[in-house]
Amino acid sequence: MNQIESSIIAAIKANPMASQQELATMLGMSRESVAGYIMRLTRKGLILGKGYILPTGNNILVIGGANVDLTGTTKSIYRSGDSNPGEVQQSAGGVGRNIAENLARLGSHVSMITVVGNDSRGSFLIDHARDAGINIQDFIQLPNYSTSTYLALNNANGELVGAVADMNIIGQLLPEVLVEKISRLQSASQLVVEANLHEETIEWIAEQNFNAPIIADAVSATKAVRLVPLLPKLSLLKVNVSEAKSILDIPEHQHIAETELIDALLDRGVQTILLSLGERGVIVGNRESKTTQVVPACKILSDTGAGDALLAGYIFAQTRFDSALEQIKFAVACAACTLEAKHAVNPQLTEQYVSTQFKTFLHFSNQTSATAEPER
């Protein structure tokens, strides 16, 4: 910012409700000149929208999908083509939304740009996000689309026997929508995107020069290739082996060392790779080092959302802990907490909860919460 821009920001902080004429009088400038500077500051993301709202620090912005998960589980043997007595549950899901909720529950200031329908399920997602601590200002309700919904049918053992995914609405989160949110995008401290976004949207993001580092989740082997144009812009990419091979155009059956996958992605411009190995843990790698971390012992109820918690935990840990080992251990502990939960996000997740549940595993010498006791 130049001196005049700094003076305008200071004046707005002193009197956020001042009109442009009042600001002009305070600063000894013309109203037209003040209006021009305010427009430029808004485009830079230093002023957010109407009312001269100023951005906060540590403002993580997630761009991605939010959907409702409907899960039906039979009480006894599943009978195809028949009505099966059982239980139906509704919960909030979606990769981007899961990441945002985990970040909010850990204590980060997080907003989300997403699209939902103007229907009861859309209202459910908005209410749920608000209650979880996500800034819902940029949840967009579209009247002509149904809220993204995943309908799953499980047998009595909890095994999937069939599912229907209605996720057409995420395709409406196009560049023209994000253009209207440009001040939000420019003011973010970190941008988190996921491969469920339309290819056109990801390409548009890759073409922009945002102030914040960009983080991406590859989501699946099928959708991971959408991130290829964005690779040189990524500060962090979370993938599994299949997703990494898909991005690098390596056949699934071809054997390649995990460290070589990381190196190949680094060669494509990504700064740090978070490579999930499933039950074997995770490797975090950059040009300086590669650290492998196993998953702590935990009681697994569901693996849904564990990868989302891993990424959110790592993003949070980067601002909280100094060493790479502390950061990845905390991230893996967040994933373990989610494995112990019934839904895609553990509603008990907080920094204190993670530190207490996995005290000895974490064993952070500089954290008072990491007192030693038998490892779980």
* 316-354 pLDDT tens trace: 999 999 889 999 999 999 999 999 988 899 999 999 999
Which residues, in sequence order, are CB contacts of 202 under 8 Å at separation 6+?
193, 195, 226, 227, 229, 230
DSSP structure string for 136-190? -TTEEEETTSPPPEEEEEE-TTS-EEEEEEE-GGGGG--HHHHHTTHHHHHH-SE
Which of 33-42, 105-114, 169-178, 360-369 has the least mean pLDDT?
Answer: 360-369
Which residues, in sequence order, are CB contacts of 17 under 8 Å at separation 6+?
51
Flag whether pLDDT at 3 surpasses 90: no
**Which is higher by pLDDT, 359 or 52?**
359
Going edge to edge, which strands form the sheet with 214-217?
Answer: 139-142, 109-117, 59-63, 190-194, 214-217, 234-240, 273-276, 282-285, 290-293
340 touches 299 (CB < 8 A): yes
CA angle 108, 188, 10 (to 5 degrees): 105
pLDDT value at residue 217: 98
Alpha helices in 188-269 (DSSP H): 199-207, 221-224, 241-247, 258-267
57-75 tens-digit pLDDT: 568 999 999 999 998 999 9
> Quick one: average pLDDT of 274-286?
94
> Quick one: average pLDDT of 241-257?
97
Which residues, in sequence order, are CB contacts of 339 under 8 Å at separation 6+?
295, 298, 299, 300, 301, 302, 303, 306
Q: Retrieve residue 361's tokens.
A: 């595993």
pLDDT band at 365 (very low <50, low <70, confident <90, very high): very low
Domains of the chain (ranges; CATH) run: 3-52 (1.10.10.10), 56-188 (3.40.1190.20)
Amino acid at 343: H
**Using N-to-C axis directions, what is the helix angle for 324-339 and 306-320, rounded to 10°?**
150
> Quick one: average pLDDT of 141-147?
94
At 274, is the secondary structure helix, strand, or coil? strand
Which of 32-36, 190-194, 204-208, 239-243 has the least mean pLDDT?
Answer: 32-36
255 touches 274 (CB < 8 A): no
Rounded CA gap, 24 and 18, in Å?
10
Percent of the chain with pLDDT over 90: 67
Q: What is the pTM of this model?
A: 0.81
Q: Retrieve residue 307's tokens.
A: 């990868």
At 365, is the secondary structure helix, strand, or coil? coil
Residue at token pair 């975090």: 284
Q: Which residues of 152-186 are buried (b: 16+ CB within 10 A; e: fewer)?
A: bbbbeeeeeeeeeeeeebbeebeeebbeebebbbb
Q: How many CB atoms lie within 10 A of CB 340?
A: 15
Which of 27-41, 158-172, 251-265, 283-297 has the least mean pLDDT?
Answer: 27-41
171-225 tens-digit pLDDT: 999 999 999 898 889 889 999 999 999 999 999 999 999 989 999 999 999 999 9
pLDDT value at residue 370: 33
Residue at token pair 């999937």: 160
From residue 21, how far is each of 45, 225, 290, 336 by CA, in Å? 22, 51, 56, 55
Percent of the chain with pLDDT over 70: 92
